[in-house]
Structure 1
Amino acid sequence: MKYLLKYSAALLLLVLLVSGCREEPSYPKEPEITFDRVDQYTYTKNRITFDSLVLVVDFQDGDGNLGLRRTPTDSSDPDFQPPFDQSSPYFNNFFANLQIKRGNTYVPYPFPVESLNLNGRFPRLSLDDKDETLEGEIKYTLTNFSNDIFDPRDTVRFEVFIYDRALNKSNVVYSDDIVLFQGQ
């Protein structure tokens, strides 16, 4: 019994040391995304039916420089300076291009105003600027799809990609088909 206690403590220490030496995964510096799912929530208000959609993509990034602040911390905030200023194509870091199914093909949704889009910012995923591997999921919410704009049972999908703060573009992924106003 005396030897069992003596060696089991040493064995436990050895197991803890070996498990603490887990090697970090190695990912490329360009973000890599995969489509996970779309969560669809349908509701009615004042006889108008609405859909809220939550696009969920999984990501991996080798240097952890994903995300931009949504509001500036001060006038010199780097997340609002070029190339991330309001007039830049890199102001947003999450791009969700809406496509509508017509027959067997998808076409870009014809927004009534050309400058309208569904792009936006997702927040910084690391609090410091150290290089570190990151993986996880991004949930991006789109609200107010209504049946006064879309026909009930329209089928849509999203073309999605992201940028990191080094302006590396991820791969492009497509959501599954979404039949609008069927989430009840």
Structure 2
Amino acid sequence: MRYMLKYSIACLFLLLALSSCRKEPVYDVVPEIEFRRVEQYLFESNNVKRDSLVLVIGFKDGDGNLGLSGDRESQDLQAPFNEGSIYYDNFHTVMYVKVPDPNSATGSRFIPYPFPIPGFQFSGRFGRLSADERPEPLEGEIKYSINEINSAEFPLLRPGTVIKFDIYIYDRTTPVPNRSNIVTTDEIVLFQPN
């Protein structure tokens, strides 16, 4: 019993020593993202088919300063993150729609979707991913919801229309936030049951 206790304590110290040696990963302070998947949910309301999309990206960031608070008292609504600034939204999307193109080898091509409001995209904000300001490497997933795409508001989008998105994010670095790389989603067929 005495030997067991002696070796148990030695093993405990060895485990503690080894666990304290674990090194944190080293990532660039410019966020790096990768496309993971699109979660698509079809529903119908007032005889109009609607799709809700969740764009899922993976991220790695060396200093963990990702996300913006929506709190009115927060620094995250001060310049450069103030309304009207290009940095107000930290999750940016550009939507493309597939159109026929007889000159293309595939018979089609993607063009930027011509939104009725110039400059409109499904961009927005995602919340802070770390509770404190301490720089630390972070990695994980961001799930960004586009709650409703429908053919009533977007007349060029009909059942079977194929779209895709380019995505990039900004961090909270000031005075100029760092912009991630751009990733492209898989093709998404609208208003079709899975």
For Structure 1 versus Structure 2, the TM-score category normalised by the shorter chain is over 0.9
Whether 2:109 is the aligned partner of 1:105: answer yes
Structure 1 position 102, deviation (Å): 1.7
Aligned partner letter, 1:132? E
Aligned partner letter, 1:128? D
1:123 aligned partner:
127
Between the two proteins, what is the percent identity of the paired residues?
A: 47
Cα pair 1:54 1:140 within 8 Å, conserved: yes
2:88 aligned partner:
91
Cα pair 2:70 2:77 within 8 Å, conserved: no
Cα pair 1:100 1:155 within 8 Å, conserved: yes
Cα pair 1:29 1:62 within 8 Å, conserved: yes
- TM-score (normalizing by structure 2): 0.88
Structure 1 position 136, deviation (Å): 0.9
Q: What's the RMSD between the two structures over aligned residues? A: 1.5
Aligned partner letter, 1:144? E
- TM-score (normalizing by structure 1): 0.92
Whether 2:184 is the aligned partner of 1:177: answer no
Cα pair 1:40 1:183 within 8 Å, conserved: no
| Match runs of 1:35-50 below 5 Å | 35-50=35-50
SS of residue matched to 1:141: strand
Unaligned runs of 5+ in 1: none
Whether 2:172 is the aligned partner of 1:168: answer no
Aligned partner letter, 2:12? L
CA distance in 1, matches of 2:47, 2:10: 70
Aligned residues: 181
CA distance in 2, matches of 1:120, 1:128: 22
Per-residue CA distance 1:78-112 (angstroms, 9 max, x = gap) = 21111111111111100011111124321100001
Unaligned runs of 5+ in 2: 101-107
More displaced, 14-23 or 80-89? 14-23
